[in-house]
Protein backbone atom coordinates (compact mmCIF):
# COMPACT_ATOMS: atom_id res chain seq x y z
CA UNK A 1 0.00 0.00 0.00
CA UNK A 2 2.87 2.40 0.76
CA UNK A 3 4.23 2.09 -2.78
CA UNK A 4 0.72 2.71 -4.10
CA UNK A 5 0.44 5.92 -2.06
CA UNK A 6 3.74 7.24 -3.44
CA UNK A 7 2.84 6.19 -6.98
CA UNK A 8 -0.58 7.82 -6.59
CA UNK A 9 1.10 11.06 -5.49
CA UNK A 10 3.26 11.10 -8.64
CA UNK A 11 0.17 10.40 -10.77
CA UNK A 12 -1.62 13.32 -9.06
CA UNK A 13 1.17 15.70 -10.00
CA UNK A 14 2.09 14.55 -13.50
CA UNK A 15 -1.42 13.46 -14.45
CA UNK A 16 -2.51 17.03 -13.75
CA UNK A 17 0.69 18.66 -14.99
CA UNK A 18 -1.03 21.73 -16.45
CA UNK A 19 -2.70 22.53 -13.13
CA UNK A 20 0.49 21.67 -11.22
CA UNK A 21 2.33 24.32 -13.21
CA UNK A 22 -0.46 26.87 -12.81
CA UNK A 23 -0.47 26.45 -9.04
CA UNK A 24 3.29 26.82 -8.69
CA UNK A 25 4.65 28.95 -11.54
CA UNK A 26 3.93 32.47 -10.25
CA UNK A 27 5.04 31.90 -6.63
CA UNK A 28 8.27 30.27 -7.83
CA UNK A 29 8.97 33.04 -10.35
CA UNK A 30 8.45 35.72 -7.69
CA UNK A 31 10.79 33.90 -5.31
CA UNK A 32 13.51 33.46 -7.92
CA UNK A 33 13.24 37.12 -9.00
CA UNK A 34 13.46 38.30 -5.39
CA UNK A 35 16.51 36.10 -4.82
CA UNK A 36 18.41 37.80 -7.65
CA UNK A 37 16.93 41.31 -7.69
CA UNK A 38 16.75 42.26 -4.01
CA UNK A 39 20.47 41.82 -3.22
CA UNK A 40 21.38 43.84 -6.33
CA UNK A 41 19.13 46.72 -5.25
CA UNK A 42 21.20 47.08 -2.07
CA UNK A 43 24.54 46.55 -3.78
CA UNK A 44 24.94 43.06 -2.36
CA UNK A 45 26.04 39.84 -3.98
CA UNK A 46 24.44 36.44 -3.57
CA UNK A 47 27.45 35.44 -1.47
CA UNK A 48 26.82 38.36 0.89
CA UNK A 49 23.22 37.32 1.43
CA UNK A 50 24.06 33.62 1.81
CA UNK A 51 26.76 34.43 4.35
CA UNK A 52 24.48 36.77 6.26
CA UNK A 53 21.93 33.97 6.56
CA UNK A 54 24.54 31.82 8.28
CA UNK A 55 23.99 31.93 12.05
CA UNK A 56 27.69 31.88 12.88
CA UNK A 57 28.37 34.76 10.47
CA UNK A 58 25.51 36.77 11.95
CA UNK A 59 26.86 36.32 15.46
CA UNK A 60 30.37 37.28 14.38
CA UNK A 61 29.09 40.33 12.53
CA UNK A 62 28.85 40.01 8.77
CA UNK A 63 31.01 42.53 6.86
CA UNK A 64 28.08 43.46 4.58
CA UNK A 65 26.29 44.83 7.63
CA UNK A 66 22.75 44.35 8.94
CA UNK A 67 21.21 45.09 5.53
CA UNK A 68 22.42 41.74 4.21
CA UNK A 69 20.80 39.97 7.15
CA UNK A 70 17.50 41.80 6.57
CA UNK A 71 17.55 40.92 2.86
CA UNK A 72 18.37 37.29 3.66
CA UNK A 73 15.51 37.14 6.17
CA UNK A 74 13.06 38.66 3.67
CA UNK A 75 14.05 36.21 0.93
CA UNK A 76 13.70 33.26 3.33
CA UNK A 77 10.29 34.51 4.48
CA UNK A 78 9.16 34.94 0.86
CA UNK A 79 10.38 31.42 0.04
CA UNK A 80 8.37 29.81 2.83
CA UNK A 81 5.34 31.96 2.04
CA UNK A 82 5.53 30.91 -1.62
CA UNK A 83 5.83 27.23 -0.72
CA UNK A 84 2.75 27.55 1.50
CA UNK A 85 0.90 29.40 -1.28
CA UNK A 86 1.67 26.57 -3.71
CA UNK A 87 0.70 23.84 -1.22
CA UNK A 88 -2.59 25.54 -0.32
CA UNK A 89 -3.53 25.93 -3.97
CA UNK A 90 -2.70 22.28 -4.65
CA UNK A 91 -4.66 20.97 -1.65
CA UNK A 92 -7.67 23.05 -2.66
CA UNK A 93 -7.45 21.80 -6.24
CA UNK A 94 -7.42 18.14 -5.20
CA UNK A 95 -9.84 18.31 -2.25
CA UNK A 96 -12.24 21.06 -3.37
CA UNK A 97 -11.77 20.81 -7.14
CA UNK A 98 -10.84 24.50 -7.12
CA UNK A 99 -9.08 24.77 -10.47
CA UNK A 100 -6.12 27.16 -10.51
CA UNK A 101 -5.82 30.07 -12.90
CA UNK A 102 -2.65 31.24 -14.60
CA UNK A 103 -2.43 33.79 -11.79
CA UNK A 104 -3.37 31.53 -8.87
CA UNK A 105 -5.75 32.73 -6.18
CA UNK A 106 -4.14 33.87 -2.95
CA UNK A 107 -6.39 32.94 0.02
CA UNK A 108 -4.23 34.87 2.45
CA UNK A 109 -5.88 33.61 5.64
CA UNK A 110 -5.43 29.97 4.62
CA UNK A 111 -1.86 30.53 3.43
CA UNK A 112 -0.84 32.24 6.68
CA UNK A 113 -2.54 29.51 8.71
CA UNK A 114 -0.72 26.88 6.68
CA UNK A 115 2.58 28.70 7.11
CA UNK A 116 2.11 29.02 10.87
CA UNK A 117 1.29 25.35 11.32
CA UNK A 118 4.22 24.36 9.11
CA UNK A 119 6.50 26.44 11.30
CA UNK A 120 5.27 24.78 14.49
CA UNK A 121 5.58 21.30 12.98
CA UNK A 122 9.07 22.22 11.78
CA UNK A 123 10.06 23.14 15.34
CA UNK A 124 8.78 19.77 16.57
CA UNK A 125 10.72 17.94 13.86
CA UNK A 126 13.90 19.84 14.74
CA UNK A 127 13.39 19.06 18.45
CA UNK A 128 12.99 15.37 17.61
CA UNK A 129 15.92 15.51 15.22
CA UNK A 130 18.46 16.75 17.79
CA UNK A 131 18.58 13.57 19.93
CA UNK A 132 18.11 11.36 16.86
CA UNK A 133 21.02 13.13 15.16
CA UNK A 134 23.25 12.70 18.19
CA UNK A 135 22.42 9.02 18.51
CA UNK A 136 22.63 8.38 14.77
CA UNK A 137 25.88 10.29 14.45
CA UNK A 138 27.44 8.27 17.23
CA UNK A 139 26.23 5.05 15.59
CA UNK A 140 27.22 5.92 12.02
CA UNK A 141 30.46 7.75 12.76
CA UNK A 142 32.72 4.72 13.31
CA UNK A 143 31.46 3.05 10.13
CA UNK A 144 31.77 6.20 8.02
CA UNK A 145 35.32 6.69 9.30
CA UNK A 146 36.31 3.37 7.74
CA UNK A 147 36.17 5.12 4.38
CA UNK A 148 37.00 2.60 1.71
CA UNK A 149 35.35 -0.37 3.38
CA UNK A 150 32.06 -0.75 1.52
CA UNK A 151 30.28 -2.56 4.36
CA UNK A 152 31.04 0.29 6.77
CA UNK A 153 29.84 2.90 4.26
CA UNK A 154 26.62 0.96 3.63
CA UNK A 155 25.92 0.68 7.36
CA UNK A 156 26.54 4.40 7.82
CA UNK A 157 24.25 5.13 4.85
CA UNK A 158 21.55 2.91 6.33
CA UNK A 159 21.71 4.81 9.62
CA UNK A 160 21.40 8.13 7.79
CA UNK A 161 18.39 6.90 5.80
CA UNK A 162 16.77 5.61 8.98
CA UNK A 163 17.26 8.94 10.77
CA UNK A 164 15.87 10.92 7.84
CA UNK A 165 12.93 8.51 7.57
CA UNK A 166 12.04 8.99 11.24
CA UNK A 167 11.97 12.77 10.81
CA UNK A 168 9.93 12.47 7.60
CA UNK A 169 7.56 10.13 9.44
CA UNK A 170 7.02 12.71 12.21
CA UNK A 171 6.45 15.43 9.61
CA UNK A 172 3.89 13.38 7.67
CA UNK A 173 1.91 12.30 10.73
CA UNK A 174 1.70 15.81 12.14
CA UNK A 175 1.40 17.37 8.69
CA UNK A 176 -1.94 15.69 8.04
CA UNK A 177 -3.48 18.81 9.62
CA UNK A 178 -1.98 21.08 6.95
CA UNK A 179 -4.57 20.32 4.24
CA UNK A 180 -7.27 21.13 6.81
CA UNK A 181 -5.85 24.65 7.10
CA UNK A 182 -5.77 24.92 3.30
CA UNK A 183 -9.47 24.11 2.91
CA UNK A 184 -10.53 26.42 5.74
CA UNK A 185 -11.29 23.76 8.37
CA UNK A 186 -8.20 23.95 10.61
CA UNK A 187 -7.46 21.16 13.08
CA UNK A 188 -5.26 21.16 16.20
CA UNK A 189 -1.72 20.16 15.25
CA UNK A 190 -1.46 17.17 17.59
CA UNK A 191 -4.70 15.71 16.22
CA UNK A 192 -2.76 14.70 13.11
CA UNK A 193 -0.68 12.30 15.18
CA UNK A 194 -3.78 10.82 16.81
CA UNK A 195 -5.88 10.25 13.71
CA UNK A 196 -2.97 8.78 11.74
CA UNK A 197 -2.16 6.14 14.37
CA UNK A 198 -4.10 3.33 12.60
CA UNK A 199 -1.87 3.58 9.52
CA UNK A 200 1.36 4.58 11.28
CA UNK A 201 3.27 1.63 9.81
CA UNK A 202 2.17 2.50 6.29
CA UNK A 203 3.24 6.12 6.78
CA UNK A 204 6.67 5.03 8.02
CA UNK A 205 7.18 2.88 4.91
CA UNK A 206 6.13 5.87 2.77
CA UNK A 207 8.78 7.89 4.61
CA UNK A 208 11.43 5.28 3.83
CA UNK A 209 10.49 5.30 0.14
CA UNK A 210 10.60 9.10 -0.07
CA UNK A 211 13.98 9.33 1.65
CA UNK A 212 15.43 6.56 -0.53
CA UNK A 213 14.19 8.27 -3.70
CA UNK A 214 15.54 11.63 -2.61
CA UNK A 215 18.91 10.16 -1.65
CA UNK A 216 19.18 8.25 -4.91
CA UNK A 217 18.47 11.36 -6.97
CA UNK A 218 20.88 13.52 -4.98
CA UNK A 219 23.66 10.95 -5.39
CA UNK A 220 23.18 10.30 -9.09
CA UNK A 221 22.25 13.70 -10.59
CA UNK A 222 25.43 15.58 -9.52
CA UNK A 223 27.59 12.67 -10.70
CA UNK A 224 25.89 12.56 -14.11
CA UNK A 225 25.68 16.32 -14.68
CA UNK A 226 28.68 17.60 -12.74
CA UNK A 227 30.28 18.91 -15.92
CA UNK A 228 27.18 20.83 -17.05
CA UNK A 229 26.40 23.33 -14.27
CA UNK A 230 23.40 25.03 -15.93
CA UNK A 231 21.73 21.72 -16.77
CA UNK A 232 22.51 20.46 -13.28
CA UNK A 233 20.86 23.52 -11.71
CA UNK A 234 17.79 23.07 -13.93
CA UNK A 235 17.51 19.41 -12.92
CA UNK A 236 17.96 20.34 -9.24
CA UNK A 237 15.15 22.89 -9.52
CA UNK A 238 12.90 20.31 -11.21
CA UNK A 239 13.65 17.76 -8.48
CA UNK A 240 12.90 20.32 -5.75
CA UNK A 241 9.59 21.19 -7.42
CA UNK A 242 8.66 17.51 -7.75
CA UNK A 243 9.54 16.89 -4.09
CA UNK A 244 7.30 19.76 -2.98
CA UNK A 245 4.34 18.71 -5.14
CA UNK A 246 4.61 14.98 -4.36
CA UNK A 247 4.92 15.72 -0.63
CA UNK A 248 1.81 17.92 -0.75
CA UNK A 249 -0.02 15.19 -2.70
CA UNK A 250 0.83 12.57 -0.07
CA UNK A 251 -0.51 14.82 2.70
CA UNK A 252 -3.63 15.40 0.59
CA UNK A 253 -4.09 11.65 0.15
CA UNK A 254 -3.65 10.92 3.87
CA UNK A 255 -6.00 13.75 4.87
CA UNK A 256 -8.63 12.65 2.37
CA UNK A 257 -8.52 9.10 3.70
CA UNK A 258 -8.32 9.78 7.44
CA UNK A 259 -10.54 12.86 7.70
CA UNK A 260 -12.88 12.69 4.70
CA UNK A 261 -13.08 8.88 4.53
CA UNK A 262 -11.93 8.70 0.92
CA UNK A 263 -10.17 5.66 -0.50
CA UNK A 264 -6.49 5.68 0.38
CA UNK A 265 -5.50 5.51 -3.31
The answer to whether residue 263 is domain-embedded is no
pLDDT of residue 236: 76
pLDDT of residue 235: 78
pLDDT of residue 214: 87
| Contact by Cβ (8 Å): 23, 105 | no
pLDDT of residue 155: 76
Instruction: Give 38-84 pLDDT, tens digit per residue.
Output: 888 877 776 667 666 555 555 555 555 677 778 888 888 999 999 99
**Residue 135 CB neighbour total at 10 angstroms:** 12
Q: What is the mean pLDDT of the chain?
A: 85
The answer to whether residue 121 is domain-embedded is yes
Residue ranges, the chain, pLDDT below 50: none
pLDDT of residue 129: 92
The answer to whether residue 264 is domain-embedded is no
pLDDT of residue 77: 92
pLDDT of residue 135: 84
The answer to whether residue 171 is domain-embedded is yes
Range of the domain at 141: 2-258
- This prediction has a pTM of 0.87
Q: How far apart are the first and last CA of the chain?
A: 8
Residue 50 burial by Cβ neighbours in a 10 Å radius (0-12, 13-18, 19+): middle
**Residue 193 CB neighbour total at 10 angstroms:** 15
The answer to whether residue 225 is domain-embedded is yes
Domain total of the chain: 1
The answer to whether residue 265 is domain-embedded is no
How far apart are alpha carbons 121 and 127 in whole angstroms? 10
The answer to whether residue 17 is domain-embedded is yes
Amino acid sequence: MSFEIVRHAFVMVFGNLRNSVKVSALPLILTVLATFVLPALFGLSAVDVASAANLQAMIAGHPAGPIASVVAFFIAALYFFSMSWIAVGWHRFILLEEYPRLIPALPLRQVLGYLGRSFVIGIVVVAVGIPIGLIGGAAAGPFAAQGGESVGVLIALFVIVLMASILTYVWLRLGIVLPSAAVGAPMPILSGWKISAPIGGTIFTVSLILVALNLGINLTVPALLGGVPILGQAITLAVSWTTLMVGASILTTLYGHLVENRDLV
